[in-house]
Every structure is written in structure tokens, then in C-alpha cells.
Amino acid sequence: MTYIGIAYILWLAWKTYKSKPHSIDRNEKYTNTFFTGFILQFVNLKVILYGITTISTFIIPYYKSVFILTIFSIILAFIGFVSTCCWSLFGSILQKFFENHSKVVNTVMALLLVYCAVSLLF
């Protein structure tokens, strides 16, 4: 599995290095809508693992009440929502920088991926 993971990371590095910036001026059909992003959160493995891990590790050992578990679940959902909003905000702020310096950004990201792949060997 390690070698398959290394090959996949190296493939991602190559695709990142060779990718071109997306132009806003192009007339393309955008499928990235709010609704598709909203629905994606219900099948997003990271969100599911975030909730299960947090609840089972930090909350259930100390609290058993359904009311308290509900309150903590609402708090975790709010934290996840704020995190997603921050991710979107900073992504939209940095988008112009990434478009203007796409070759440098892609090269740095690809080199970091290669570093991750090499570090799996050691």
C-alpha cells in the first residue's frame, strides 16, 4: 500500500505541476454550486470522521446525557461551518494571487507533494 500511495502522490504532484490556471473569463458551465457543496458535506468522509472522532474521544467518555450530546453536536456543527466559511473566504482572497503566480505556486505544491512521497520511504 505504501508504494501505491507513493505512486498516487507522485501522480498528483505531476498533475499539479502541469496544471494551468482556470480563467474566470471563459464561458463554462459551473457545476460547483452551493447546493452541490451542501449535499457533499453529508458524504464527505473528513466531516464524518471529524464528528465521530470528536464525539467518541472527547465527549462520550465524560457526558452521557442526550441533551448534552445534542448541545455538543450543535457546537461542533457550528465550528465546522465557521471553518468552511474561513476556507472559502481565504480561498477567494488568495485566488487572484494564485492565478497571477500559478507556475510558482504549482511548482512549490508539486515539490511539497514529492517531499511527502519521499518521506513515506523513510
Cα distances (Å, whole numbers) of residue 44 to 40, 47, 84, 103, 113: 6, 6, 13, 30, 23
C-alpha 79/C-alpha 87 separation (Å) is 12
Query: pLDDT (tens digit, 9 = 90+) per residue, 94-105?
Result: 888 888 899 999
Spans of all domains in the chain: 2-19+37-121
102-121 vs 66-100: helix axis angle to the nearest 10? 120
Query: pLDDT (tens digit, 9 = 90+) per residue, 22-69?
Result: 665 555 666 777 788 778 777 888 888 988 999 999 999 999 899 999
Model pTM? 0.60
Q: What is the pLDDT of residue 42?
A: 77
